[in-house]
Amino acid sequence: MLGKIGIAGAGNLACVLCKALINKEISPYCIYIRDKFKVDDLARELGVRVVSDINELMDCDIVIVAVKDDAIEEVAAKLSGFHGLLLHTSGIKSMDALLPVERRGVFYPLQTFSKGKKIDYRTTPILINCVTSEDLSLLKDFASVLFATVYHCDDEKRKKIHLAAVFMCNFVDVMMGIGTDLLNAENLSLALMKPLVMETMDKIFMTNPHDALTGPARRKDFGTIAMHREMLKNSHDELEIYDILTDYILKRF
């Protein structure tokens, strides 16, 4: 038996996890948020009990702290007397961020989450860790309810995975944003680039990123690079990014 499950947080991940539990017919005991003025709205949105008193979480058997990384220690300190299993969802914070709680662990879904966007949990890996083997066994059972792929991963390895994810997800998103802005300036649609982007991703996973790399810097096509730089001369930040990435490719390849 998993017992009562609570969630601390009202962000994308907290809401997605809540809905995922409900879909598995596991209704969270409560969700804690700091802003008492948002309690009713969130309760209506999620269909669960939402509270602004953190002490309500003390009755839970498992509490998932799904808040931004810098707020984890603050939440854990307020739950110092908690005797259940306290988990955070950070990719970069160690389990000790949850001290002084003794039964603590990590519940880190390796995925990007947005409200309203459904996630395929069958293909999303979850990285877990706990202080004790007993709690690790419990957490494996809990994680398996939502995720098909469960990895036991220590703090240091998870931190490296998180760093890799920032490069492979967040920074890629930024690059896509820059490209989209360039297209929008010419009244062109992002959809124009979809076949190119999808083919790039396919090649990366069929071979490897280094073998899949093409483009003017990879070919050392300096004339094209000069023209691109001229086109970006009035966009200082974008030109700086272009130069850094181009120089990296020229040096490495």
Mark whether 173 and 106 lie in a shared domain: no
Using the structure block, give the residue that is written with the tokens 């005991």.
Answer: 29
Do residues 99 and 217 both lie within one domain? no
pLDDT at 1: 66
The label of the residue with tokens 């603590």 reads: 104
Q: Domain check: are 46 and 141 in the same one?
A: yes
Shared domain check, 128 and 60: yes
Strands in the chain per DSSP E: 5-8, 30-32, 50-51, 62-65, 85-88, 104-109, 125-130, 149-152
Residue type, 112: T
Same domain for 200 and 103, yes or no, is no
Query: Domain span at residue 241?
Result: 159-252
Q: How far apart are CA 101 and CA 201, in angstroms?
A: 42
On whether both 131 and 26 belong to a single domain, the answer is yes
Dihedral sign computed on CA atoms, order 216, 221, 222, 224: negative
Residue 211 CB-half CA count within 13 A: 7
Which residue in this structure is represented by tokens 């970069």? 92
SS3 83: coil
As beta bridge partners, residue 211 has none
Contact between residue 104 and residue 95 where contact means Cβ atoms under 8 Å apart = yes
> Which one-letter amino acid corresponds to residue 192?
L
Average pLDDT along the chain, 253 residues, taken 10 residues at a time: 91 92 92 92 91 96 97 97 97 97 98 83 94 97 94 97 98 98 98 98 95 97 98 97 98 96
Q: Same structural domain for residues 173 and 247?
A: yes
Could you tell me the sign of the dihedral formed by the alpha carbons of 117, 122, 126, 130, in that order?
positive
Q: Contact, 110 vs 124, CB < 8 A?
A: yes
What are the two backbone dihedrals, phi and then psi, of residue 130, each rounded to the nearest 5 degrees? -145, 160
Q: Based on the structure, what is the number of domains in the chain?
A: 2
Q: pTM of the predicted model, to two decimals?
A: 0.91
